[in-house]
Structure 1
Amino acid sequence: MAAGYAEVKAAIRDAIEHGGWKPGFRLPSERELVEQFKYARMTVRRALQELQAEGLIERRHGSGSYVADLQPISNILSVKDIREEIAGRGHRHSSAVLLQTRLKAGRQIAEAMRCAPDIGVFCCQVLHFENGTPIQFEERFVNPEVVPDFLSLDLGAQTASHHLFERAPLTAAEQVVEAVNADAMLAGHLRIGVGAALLRVSRRTVSQGRVASIARLYHPGASYRLIGVFSAAPPGS
């Protein structure tokens, strides 16, 4: 079944990315896909469920499956470039690129990026400053299939986020914020004491069904705030 659902999934993704299936296009029904690919309905349904989870299609009850609107997620969910965020406060951004290389993914990153552990991925470590004070330590893993020229990018001139927004418009993202303590390496870069409180933002971004990057963003807990704005639906909506 694994090979079957993967084949169906790959064929639908290819039709969306290269075959002219535009946002809003109604996919063939499950029955039609069963007839086309000669697989069980459960196999076809699994392929559709995974494509929905990756943000590539949306399924409407009683209506069918449609190609999702690939509008950049920055218009839906606030995923800001650190440079723009600092500029918005009227302050000066600068950065130091500590690492920009290719390495093996390893089990944890491979699972998050949905690739084999021995596959090479790009990695960067960048320290961001606000008016000369370190405000964020960024560790980012980038899918080479999505941004193949990542190692040639000047991360000092533009942030990794900026380059990703341009090359791989975001269609889905997940983010986890948690409190952690600074180890010796992070404490040294962020100029805080070992064991001091940090806010770690773990973010996975998806572009047209493929994981584009995995980022771990560390902020000094005493000098950084994360603010979310939510709107309640009106009664009866």
Structure 2
Amino acid sequence: MPTPKFTQIKQFIVDKIRSGLWLENQRVPSENELAKQFAVSRMTARRALSELTDTGILTRSQGLGTFVASFKSQSSLLEIKNIAHEVKERNGNYSCTVQVLESINAVAPIAIALGVEVDSVVYRSVIIHNENDSPLQVEERFVNPLLAKDYLQQNFTALTPHEYLSTVAPLTQARHTVEAITPSSEMCQWLNLYNEEPCLQVIRRTWSVNGIVSFARLISPGSKYRLGGQLTFKNNNKAHNA
């Protein structure tokens, strides 16, 4: 079965970016230019650009065109850090317990979050991260197997999922939602919470140049964990960097 034209256009753009021929903030061909180059309709070219924009590979600016997204900043508010490094930076002793490592059929919310078909096979892991032998965070992660096929074969007591995924599918973008939640009884058990207390939940989706890599829930006791960040503002006269 031939590859759809819009997929060919997407792959063409991704290859140009991965090879370094198209750099961050560089303008990419317009819908009309791509339609002419690939002998397709403008609607087909628009679909390719729109899907790459939705996954954070491209950015569109009204009246200016479409540009290669900046891959240096993974989040405007939160920097993605490896929790093992965080603990060690505090001179703590990091360890973890792998509770679940399995393949499952994706229910609708997980399929939507990963951009895959409902009931398709995805990978799931549940890992408890400890600091000085005390539970600090529960990480439940769903992974697209097309982008990390050997995920279930990894020893996550030796490296974190973040470290592994950063190697096999280097992250280009992440989106976060942060909220306070009341933990379930299972979560209380995993976190050794004998008295119910509010927890901090971070919902995180991560992308590589080839699509959505993972969807994760990171849950920590409010009394043990906090998030912080820093914004740096720079003067820049270039319009597409403003």
TMscore range, shorter length: 0.7 to 0.9
Q: Show the 5 A alignment for 1:73-222.
A: 73=74, 78-193=79-194, 195-222=196-223
CA contact (8 A) 1:183 1:195 kept: no
Q: 1:32 corresponds to which letter in structure 2?
A: E
**From 12, 23, 32, the counterpart of 2:9:** 12
Say if 1:97 and 1:210 are closer, same or farther in 2 by CA, change over 3 A.
same
Contact 1:127 1:138 (C-alpha < 8 Å) held by counterparts: yes
Q: CA deviation at 1:59?
A: 3.6
Which segments of 5 or more consecutive residues in structure 2 lack a partner in the other structure? none
Residue 23 of structure 1 aligns with an amino acid whose one-letter code is W
Secondary structure of the residue aligned to 1:65 is strand
Distance 1:56 1:7 in 2: 19
- C-alpha contact 2:198 2:221 (8 A) present in aligned 1: yes
CA contact (8 A) 2:71 2:173 kept: no
Counterpart secondary structure, 2:218: strand
Read off the aligned partner of 1:15 and give its amino acid letter. Answer: F
How many residues are treated as equivalent by the alignment? 231
Alignment of 1:50-65 (within 5 A): 50-59=51-60, 64-65=65-66
CA contact (8 A) 2:9 2:45 kept: no
Provide the alpha-carbon RMSD of the alignment. Answer: 2.7
* Alpha-carbon distance change, 235 to 125 in structure 1, aligned in 2, over 3 angstroms: closer
Identity value in percent: 35
Q: For residue 232 of structure 1, report the CA deviation from its aligned partner.
A: 4.3
Stretches of structure 1 lacking an aligned partner (at least 5 in a row):
none
Q: Where do residues 26-45 of structure 1 align in structure 2 (5 Å cutoff)?
A: 26-45=27-46
